């Protein structure tokens, strides 16, 4: 397993994907908090990578699939959005990228040993169908890794989310098709908690006003957030994101 260092893919480059809130884009100061928060889950997936084929279902901008490819395995990155697929092909030319429907995956049964889908299931109308498809393309004994924002703590009103989930709902969704192994929470580490004790909710502060109107202390904090500013949080009612692992 290769050592994972800070992921700065795309840093300092102008993104070719519109920043709409639907997906996280690296290399942008005001996106850095969300990018690093998502990167934590990708680091957790790296501990699951072994020999075999890996599918990322819902690759978005592509930085996560590129990180997984760096582990020395063959990764197929799939997204439904044609603009995102074209961006991934231009930005990460060593990735194999496919455009397709996440609820009707264009792959044979048992084609993959690991299926990864991070911060995707909450966007889908047919969540049971999606999970069923992920399990269909997994080989026997294969692993499914899902992450999603915790409905109990995520700010309401994201127009790109069809249904957010609690830990219990995510577990029940997956258990209908596979054997869940674990569900962990991701939350703020000590430095971010200390900032919140002094100034209030960090997510709310970022959403309260446009980034160009952020106060200086908020801009400096967001710009400097790294993956080590997040930690596992096993209080699944209070954590920020959920990370579930299941086996076929």
Q: Where are the domains of the chain?
A: 29-185+231-247
More confident residue, 109 or 27: 109
* Long-range contacts from 81-84, C-beta under 8 angstroms, 24+ separation: 83/17, 84/17, 84/23, 84/59, 84/60
Quote the CA–CA distance of 28 and 41 in Å, as a whole number.
Answer: 19
Interval 168-190: pLDDT, tens: 999 999 999 999 999 999 999 99
Percent of the chain with pLDDT over 90: 85
Helices (runs of H) and strands (runs of E) counted in the chain: 8, 8
143 forms beta bridges with: 114, 247
Interval 10-49: pLDDT, tens: 333 444 556 655 567 788 889 999 999 999 999 999 999 9
Backbone angles phi, psi at 113, to 5 degrees: -95, -25
The answer for residues whose C-beta is within 8 angstroms of residue 60's C-beta and 6 or more apart is 23, 24, 79, 84, 119, 120
- Do the beta carbons of residue 102 and residue 128 sit within 8 Å? no
Does residue 155 register a pLDDT over 70?
yes
The DSSP element (H or E) to which 62 belongs, if any, is none
CATH code of domain 29-185+231-247: 3.40.50.150
**Which residue's structure tokens are 């957790």?**
44
């Amino acid at each position: 397993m290769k050592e994972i260092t800070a992921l700065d893919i795309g840093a300092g480059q102008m993104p070719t994907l519109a920043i709409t809130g639907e997906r996280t884009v690296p290399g942008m100061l005001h996106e850095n908090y969300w990018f690093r928060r998502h990167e934590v889950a990708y680091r957790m997936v790296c501990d699951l990578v072994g020999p075999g084929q890996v599918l990322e279902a819902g690759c978005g901008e592509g930085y996560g699939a590129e990180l997984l490819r760096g582990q020395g395995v063959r990764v197929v990155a799939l997204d439904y959005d044609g603009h995102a697929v074209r961006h991934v092909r231009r930005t990460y030319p060593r990735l194999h990228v496919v455009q397709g429907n996440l609820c009707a995956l264009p792959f044979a049964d048992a084609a993959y040993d690991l299926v990864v889908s991070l911060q995707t299931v909450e966007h889908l109308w047919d969540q049971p169908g999606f999970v069923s498809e992920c399990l269909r393309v997994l080989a026997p004994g294969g692993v499914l890794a899902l992450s999603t924002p915790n409905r109990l703590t995520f700010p309401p009103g994201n127009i790109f989310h069809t249904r957010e989930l609690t830990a219990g709902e995510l577990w029940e969704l997956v258990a209908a098709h596979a054997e869940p192994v674990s569900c962990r929470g991701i939350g703020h580490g000590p430095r971010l908690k200390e900032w919140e004790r002094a100034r209030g909710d960090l997510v709310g502060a970022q959403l309260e006003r446009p980034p160009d109107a952020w106060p200086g202390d908020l801009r400096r904090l967001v710009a400097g957030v790294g993956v080590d500013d997040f930690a596992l949080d096993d209080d699944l009612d209070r954590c920020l994101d959920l990370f579930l692992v299941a086996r076929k």
